[in-house]
Amino acid sequence: MAKSRNYSKNVFINCPFDTKYFELLKTLVFTIVYFDFNPRIALEISDSGQSRLEKIVSLIKESKYSIHDLSRLQAKAVDEYYRLNMPFELGIDYGLRTFNNSYSDKRSLILETERFDYMKAISDINGFDIKNHNDIPEQLIECLRSWFSETVGLRDLNSADKIYSDFIDFNTDLFRRKMNKYAGKHNSTEAERFADSEIQHMTMPEYVDAIVEWKSSD
């Protein structure tokens, strides 16, 4: 079966979709686009005719690379269930790579919050490329930069603190652009509120487009 046209540039993101993780997801997506790769995530499509699992399997097949964040395997409160979607999707990705020779070139990165957390929940993956970010955006960039260098094979990459600085500049520039959009017709307080609201509710494709636009104007 022919692979997707952008297979070698696609990075499937398997992560929790809770509010807390969204704090890291924006950093994750920015860094992937920063390195000229395409983040592929279940949030990018809302086709009610396709089941969530079908959608995820398609994304996995279309992506040579995948990033699996297992940092929500542990329930944080009494009566809270731990999350099984991420290890399940990691299993699908691993199965495709293992049982189908056409996909033996797939490569993945596994992320967790604290080092060796995974050993308590899913020790079978011992030996995989696993990095921990402590839920801190700049440390997540360090994990990604290392992986893109070691596994994907990119060279002469900017330092992690330069990438983080660019991430902050991107967010500032995005806010200013949105402020400019509203400032003509509204006072600065209202313009700020509208700008912030628009940014907070950007869809994943809009967010990716904004990063691409910022990169091209740099």
* Interface residues toward other proteins, by CB under 8 A: 22-27, 30, 134-139, 142, 159, 161-162, 164-165, 167-173, 175-176, 179, 183, 186-189, 191-192, 195-196, 199-200, 214, 217-218
Separation of alpha carbons 34 and 22, rounded Å: 18
**Calpha distance 146→10 (Å, rounded):** 18
Q: How many CB atoms lie within 10 A of CB 195?
A: 21
CA distance linking residue 96 with residue 91, whole number of Å: 9
* Closer to other proteins by Cβ: residue 108 or 139: 139
170 in Cβ contact with 214 (< 8 Å): yes
Q: Give the Cα-Cα-Cα angle 12, 113, 129 (nearest 5 degrees).
A: 55
123 Cβ contact list (under 8 Å, min separation 6):
none
| Angle between helix 19-34 and 160-183 (nearest 10) | 110
Q: How far is the CB of 203 from other proteins (least distance, A)?
A: 15
With respect to other proteins, which residue has the nearer C-beta, 102 or 165? 165
Q: How far is the CB of 22 from other proteins (least distance, A)?
A: 6
Least distance between other proteins and beta carbon 42 (Å)? 19
Q: Which is nearer to other proteins, 65 or 170 (CB)?
A: 170
Would you say 10 or 139 has its CB closer to other proteins?
A: 139
Nearer to other proteins, 60 or 163 (CB): 163
